[in-house]
Structure 1
Amino acid sequence: MKLFQQLLVAPAALGLLAPVAANASDLNINGVSDYAASGEQVTSITQFSDVYPTDWAYQALSNLVERYGCVAGYPNGTYRGNRAMTRFEAAALLNACLDRITEVTDELKRLMKEFERELAILKGRVDGLEARVGELEATQFSTTTKLKGKTTFVMGATSAGGDSGYKFYRGAVRDTNAFDKKGTKGGADAYNRNFGAFTFNYDQRLVFDTSFTGKDKLRARLRAGNFLKKANAFSGAGVNLAALDIATDSGVNNTVSNAVVLDRLFYKFPVGKEFTVIAGALARNTESLAVWPSVYNKGGAKILDWTALMGTSGVYNKETGQLIGAYWKQKVNKGDNAFSVSVNYVADDGNGNNSNARKGGFMTDNSEASLLAQLGYAGPEWGLAFGYRYGQCDSGNGLRRGTEFAKNNTWNNNCVAKNDNGKLKRYASSSNSYALNAYWQPDEAGWIPSISAGWALNNVSADRLVEGSPVDTQSWMVGLKWEDVFLQGNDMGFAVGQPTFATSVKDCSKASKNAGTCSETPFDGNYVFEWYYNFKVTDNIAITPSVFYLSRPMGQYTNNLVKKGGGGYDGQFNVFGGLVQTTFKF
């Protein structure tokens, strides 16, 4: 018997089984007969003239009348709720209610028979789901951790063109492995011999995200890849601007060991409704921000490392190491723009975990650290952000991406230089970088693309700078992305800009000017062009063909002849790259 049936029957049954409290002489046979024979079932409790909403049993009586229709009144339209109930009256009430319950049960039986097939299908599905849940619970490795994976294959090559060789200014120390030591006889031919072969590379990432409260996150990421740092063009060997965002080398001593390394380990948790705190033994500054002020790569693909950093790599330099940070993001209605403030400090890995105070430490003068701050105002349709980064000497591998001249670490915020006695000495050096980024995207996909733009200014200050070395540098980029191109889910992107290039240099001495070994006018201009089409095969597989062109990646080093008295002949050197990137997500 169903629960509601039991609730209806129980009070009446108790009344029937209870001892008779009155003598036979007290029984009003006429009243019972009137009640039992009236047969006038009421449909609304308002039909009783003596029942009021203030009565303690008003709701219970209303349910019996209006839901089940099994309560009858007296012929005169009264219920007589205060009158003692006889056993005969209880039997009449119980009989009427049981008749109604039987009717409901028969109706349910007819419905069950009519939808018997559908109910059987639903039952089978429920049984199947229960079995699958049981299997997952039995085989899961953790109740709090989720595993995500991403595998990327890259096939492609680069090719250099132009007639330029290289002759460096006095005092400029640079790795010349990519070019012939003969200088003016090097250039494009030497680059193609060293970095022009077709290659097949991979990048593998496994992410473990653990939550203990449902709002926090402990992330550990394993990574492996075979983009050799000193032998693969897509890792930045030869010219750093050809480096891909996906490129990683997990080898040891420039060999393909395919070692699996831990490259992320941090904990993120909320404080209140709008603040988030991050602490990590191995974390990245660009991944510790409240908002990312660009939509160029959102939902599409990342190709060149420089374009993936919005063209402002001096600020967003991917410094990775020991990190502490926090951000505040305003709570607003969905779809509205929100203010945000982000601040993080990260010591370079290998310094922040080094106990030698002369070589490292966390929050010391030798941490090679970056302090990144960002003020943003962003939403789904548009947004903008101002970013600032203070860098200690050697922080973030200089400006990360730029011309070979602007990025030369010998003078670009280097911690170690030669003193007058030819001995190595650590000099005080720092950099200040500023960036302004903005984006806009249409409400619906169409011929109008989203637009992402960035501009950055960088300054290096040091106790000692080499004559003719960069002091101020700039960069800018504009990225366009079209969604649902040809097919829904496919994206196309195009970007153009000038990677970090020198706009002013250290003053030259009169002697070096006369000798033609130093010029105070930088010739460091260059352009980058990138195009990609992201073809979504399935929800988990995407194929992305792309090409890029570096018009002058050597920057001022492209001058292949320095004349006495300054100036020089501007040669040519460019790099073209093509690749197919295939991504598997699971």
Structure 2
Amino acid sequence: MASSQSLALALISAGLFTPCLASAADLGGRDLALEELSRYGDSGSLDQVTSISQFPDVRPTDWAYQALANLIERYGCVAGYPDGTFKGQRAMTRFEAAALLNACLDRVTEVTDELKRLMAEFERELAILKGRVDGLEAKVGELEANQFSTTTKLRGEASFILAGSPDFDSPLRASDGSRPARPNETTFNYDLRLVLDTSFTGKDLLRTRLRSGNFSSLPFRSGIFTLDKATGTDDSVEIDRLFYRFPVGESFNVTVGPLARNTEMLSFIPSAYKSDILDFFGLAGASGTYNKATGAGVGLSWRQQVEKGNPYVTFDTNYVANNGFADSSVGAFSSDSGINALTQLGYRGRNWGVALGYRYGTENSSLRNANFSSRVPDGGNNNSLSLAGYWSPIESTWIPSISLGYGYNWASGGLDDSQSWMAGLQWSDVGWAGNAAGFALGQPPFTGGENNSMLYELFYRFRVTDNITITPAVFYGSDVASNSGNDAWGGVIQTTFRF
């Protein structure tokens, strides 16, 4: 809408043109003289004002108050009567209305001329800016035309891991039985993840993840030193996630898929410790409850709807048959399918959270004990209960985030009851923004007799760019079951590229 049209509407809304505009003859003695009207827009007549507060008879509760204020402040073309009042309730003559409209249109013309002068002065800069915008639009159009999908985004993560554990001396033999395993050698491995995230409505998610890696079993793909990034696919590419998540109403999300992970169907993991090095310290000290069971699954998540920034309650429950991941001929609901039923009740604030978790596992379900690669034996079952929480400072200071977790496991079928715990401290922006450091200690599931291993980890994450990080870390374990009950230590230099 042109500025003159907007101004005319503003004048009407301000009550300057009323439904009962009177003629000069009707108003008689109340008419202003024509010569006085000719000077209506002149600053020397009729007490022109600069603020609406100068009118004692105009109140904020008046329906046209804001419109009149805009006319005064933006155009400065409204005047009062000699007695200082506006007289907004009285009728206007056509002469008065015409004179006032003429004065305001003159101001609009002045503003328009000023804008034209500015446009002429910055004509060169505006032309450059227009050229850049046109170029950007062309590039966006080319990108949209050449992208493989308008609904799918590709994310990738490649990790190069230089690692070793000098004191590791396992009696186990290589997988083909040809020679003793040599887990004490320094190795240089990789872990690659490619994620295709598809959304059809903007609120749903179809996730397909491809993964590849060349890790062998010990010491970093099984046992107490299992790394978070230690895939072993013999250099082939495998699909290790395939699920669909969609909302139901405002508070619920449903996840279903042939390759879903139980911990990824939770609203949150109750820990602020994120080293991405040893797997155990990423499970809130309760590897029995948060056992990362992956397979055919379905999950339901509920989140309390509150105002942004307020604490809220979450409830999650899911079902995963982890045997379906390795053997598609096994039924998803049969007794030997490795059923994991995980439930979590959580309470989360802006920088803290706490959760109570429970998992039930049937025979063949994942059992992340001190060896981190076991299954519940035939005829057995496993129950795991956990309580964990964390707190983080809102701003980066010398005070670290604090994470604590405890888990208890009881079972049948020849399994002993066990418990586990962890405590982790993590500092953000160490050295400079983006870097992080942390220290954690704890015990993977232990029975109170043998295998009462203590585990320690220390790391520093150096952020090279927004997409590249280098993380040196060292770790130590006492009475390591997968090392013939001896102590062991190790270290990694993990370089991660994200794109």
Assess same fold via TM > 0.5.
yes
Deviations 1:287-311 (A, max 9, x none): 00012100000xxx31111122223
Q: Which whole-Å CA distance do the structure 2 matches of 1:277 and 1:494 have between them?
A: 36
Instruction: Name the structure 2 match of 1:209.
Output: 197
- Quick one: which of 242, 250, 253 aligns to 2:225? 242
Q: Indicate which of 339, 348, 372 corresponds to 2:313.
A: 339
After TM superposition, give the deviation of residue 38 of structure 1 in Å. 3.2
Take 2:364 and 2:53, find their aligned partners in 1: how far apart are those partners?
A: 87
Aligned partner of 1:400 in structure 2 is 368
Amino acid of the residue matched to residue 474 of structure 2? V
Show CA shifts across 1:174-211 (max 9, x none).
xx4269x9xxxxxxxx97x6222221111111111122
What's the counterpart of residue 141 of structure 1? 148
Deviation at 1:6, TM superposition (A): 6.8
Superposed CA deviations along residues 88-127 of structure 1, whole A, max 9, x for unmatched, are x999899767654543332222333444455445434433
Shift of the 62–264 alpha-carbon distance from structure 1 to 2, 3 Å rule, reads: closer
Match of 1:196 in 2: 184
Per mean C-alpha deviation after superposition, the further-off stretch among 104-113 and 59-68 is: 59-68
- 1:366-445 → structure 2 map (5 Å cutoff): 366-396=336-366, 399-403=367-371, 409=375, 413-415=376-378, 428-445=379-396
Displacement of 1:542 after TM fit? 0.2
Structure 2 matches for 1:517-556, cutoff 5 A? 522-554=449-481
What is the alpha-carbon distance in structure 1 between the residues aligned to residue 190 and residue 433 of structure 2?
27
Which secondary structure does the structure 2 equivalent of 1:551 belong to?
strand
Give the whole-Å Cα distance in 2 for the aligned partners of 1:266 and 1:552: 39
1:34 aligns with 34
Q: 1:449 to 1:326 in 2, by over 3 A?
A: same
- Aligned partner of 2:119 among 112, 117, 122: 112
Provide closer, same or farther for how the CA distance between residues 74 and 575 of structure 1 changes in structure 2, counting only shifts above 3 A.
closer
Structure 1 counterpart of 2:221, which letter? Answer: S
Alignment of 1:160-199 (within 5 A): 160=167, 176-177=172-173, 194-199=182-187
Q: Report the residue type matching 2:469 in the other structure.
A: A
User: Offset of 1:366 from its aligned partner?
Assistant: 2.5
Deviations 1:354-389 (A, max 9, x none): 45xxxx312232221100011111223322111111
Question: Which one-letter code corresponds to 1:210 in the other structure?
Answer: T
Residues 314 and 70 of structure 1, relative CA distance in 2, 3 Å threshold: closer
Q: Would the alpha carbon gap of residues 368 and 70 (structure 1) be closer, same or farther in structure 2, given more than 3 Å must change?
A: closer
CA deviations on 1:401-437 (whole Å, 9 max, x unpaired) are 4148xx765xxx212xxxxxxxxxxxx3211111111
CA distance, structure 2, for counterparts of residue 158 and residue 267 of structure 1 = 39
Cα RMSD (Å): 4.0
The CA deviation string for residues 535-556 of structure 1, in whole angstroms up to 9 with x for no partner, is: 000111000011111211117x
Question: How many Å apart are 1:270 and its aligned residue?
Answer: 1.7
3-state SS in 2 of match to 1:259: coil
SS of the residue 1:310 aligns to = coil
The answer on whether the counterparts of 1:346 and 1:371 sit within 8 Å (CA) in structure 2 is yes
Give, in whole Å, the separation in 2 of the partners of 1:485 and 1:111: 49
TM-score for the superposition, normalised by structure 2 = 0.79
Could you tell me which residue of structure 2 aligns to residue 489 of structure 1?
434
Say which one has the larger Rg. 1
**Equivalent in the alignment of 2:421:** 476
Alignment-derived partner of residue 566 in structure 1: none
What does residue range 61-72 of structure 1 map to in structure 2 within 5 Å? none
The residue type paired with residue 111 of structure 1 is L
Contact 2:168 2:184 in 1 (8 A): no
Alignment partners' CA distance in 2, 1:366 and 1:547: 39
487-496 vs 534-543, greater mean Cα deviation: 487-496
| Counterpart position of 1:328 | 302
Instruction: Say if 1:319 and 1:346, in contact at 8 Å, map to a contact too.
Output: yes
Give CA deviations for 1:145-199 in whole Å, capped at 9, x if unaligned. Answer: 221111111012122268xx98xxxxxxxxx4269x9xxxxxxxx97x6222221
Q: How does 1:222-301 map to 2 (within 5 A)?
A: 222-229=210-217, 232-236=218-222, 240-251=223-234, 258-297=235-274, 301=275
Task: Please tell me whether residue 129 in structure 1 is matched to residue 111 in structure 2.
Answer: no
Deviation at 1:35, TM superposition (A): 6.7
Give the whole-Å Cα distance in 2 for the aligned partners of 1:161 and 1:82: 98
- In the alignment, which residue of structure 1 is the partner of 2:2? 3
What SS does structure 1 have at the residue aligned with 2:495?
Answer: strand
Q: How many residues are aligned here? A: 463
Task: Write the distance in 2 (CA, Å) between the matches of 1:194 and 1:368.
Answer: 32
Q: What is the distance in 1 between the residues matched to 2:219 and 2:447?
A: 23
TM-score by length of 1: 0.68
Cα distance, 1:61 vs structure 2: 11
- Partners of 2:311 and 2:53 lie apart in 1 by 55
Residue of structure 1 equivalent to 2:15: none
* Structure 2 CA distance for aligned equivalents of residues 329 and 473 of structure 1: 32
Could you tell me how far 1:136 is from its partner in structure 2? 2.5
Which protein has greater RCO, CA pairs closer than 8 Å, 6+ apart?
1
Secondary structure at the counterpart of residue 242 of structure 1: coil
What 5-or-longer segments of structure 2 have no aligned partner?
Answer: 9-30, 55-63
Q: Percent same amino acid among aligned pairs?
A: 51
Contact preservation (8 Å) 1:223, 1:263: yes
Distance 1:215 1:34, change over 3 A: same
Q: C-alpha distance in 2, partners of 1:58/1:439?
A: 53
Letter in 2 for 1:402: A
Q: Tell me which residue corresponds to 1:50.
A: none
Alignment match of 2:331 (pick from 361, 385, 390): 361
Whether the aligned pair in 2 keeps the contact of 1:491 and 1:534 (CA below 8 Å) is yes
Q: Which amino acid aligns with 2:219?
A: A
Q: Within 2, Cα distance between the matches of 1:215 and 1:482?
A: 33
